Structure 1
Amino acid sequence: MIVDGRRINACLTLAVMHQGAEITTIEGLGQPDNLHPMQAAFIRHDGYQCGYCTPGQICSGVAVLAEIEAGIPSHVTADLTAQTTVTEAEIRERMSGNLCRCGAYSNIVEAMSEVAGLETGRRHA
């Protein structure tokens, strides 16, 4: 989930801890007839299998791209004085705490790369 623009683990927080905060869950990103671009990209790239982690992966993906756009560096950011750019390495590093027991990681990276406007070698119909 996203709280005041930052991604957090919903399982490690209580709602009462965020009274007055802006909270976004998967339901707040889009609806079946009006998907958020990240939700649509996950569908196009099969960024899910069992679906258990999908809401967290999508919310985190949205927040990760916002972090990069805001210039927040990660452990793989090469130049801390330059604007952070979206790369596959940045996506993988920032999403490394989101576990998928089915192993859809490469598809998740492809979906996020599409939303970020990166070209990827593999495309789904």
Structure 2
Amino acid sequence: MLVNGRRINSCLTLAVMCEGDDITTIEGLAHGGQLHPLQQAFIEHDGFQCGYCTCGQICSAIGMLAEARAGMPSHVTADLTANTTLGAAEIRERMSGNICRCSAYPNIVAAIRSVAGDAA
């Protein structure tokens, strides 16, 4: 989930800790009948199997893309002075805290990459 636009570990956050904050969950991403671009990309790239982690993967990816746009480096960012290029290794590192028990990682990375060109 996103709190004030930043991704957090919702399983480690008490609701009372977010009083007055802007909270976005997977349900708040679509507008009208139109899916968020990352939701659509996960469908197009088959970025899920059982679906258990999908909500967290998508919300985390939205936060991760915002971090990259803001110039925040990761542990694998090669050049800290240049704009971040979100290749597969960079996306895998930035999303490494999100676990998928079905191992849909290649498709998750493909879905994020398909959107990252527009968002990063």
Question: TM-score band, normalised by the shorter chain?
Answer: over 0.9
Tell me, yes or no, if the aligned pair for 1:41 and 1:111 is still in contact at 8 Å. Answer: yes
Q: What is residue 12 of structure 2 aligned with on the other side?
A: 12
Unaligned stretches of 5+ residues in structure 2 = none
Q: Deviations over 1:97-123 (max 9, x none)?
A: 1000000000000000001128xxxxx
Question: Equivalents in 2 of 1:87, 1:65: separation in Å?
Answer: 12
How does the TM-score come out when normalised to structure 2?
0.93
1:44-89, CA deviations, whole angstroms, 9 ceiling, x for partnerless residues? 0010000000000000011111110110011011111222222211
* Amino acid in structure 1 at the alignment position of 2:65: L
Letter in 1 for 2:50: C
TM-score (norm 1): 0.89
- Which residue of the partner structure matches residue 54 of structure 2? 54
Partner of 2:71: 71
Are 2:36 and 1:36 equivalent residues in the alignment?
yes
Secondary structure at the counterpart of residue 100 of structure 1: coil
SS at match of 1:117: helix
| Aligned positions, number | 118
Corresponding residue for 2:103?
103
Who is 1:83 aligned against?
83
Q: 1:111 to 1:4 in 2, by over 3 A?
A: same
* 1:32 positional shift: 7.8
The one-letter amino acid paired with 1:93 is E
Identity value in percent: 69
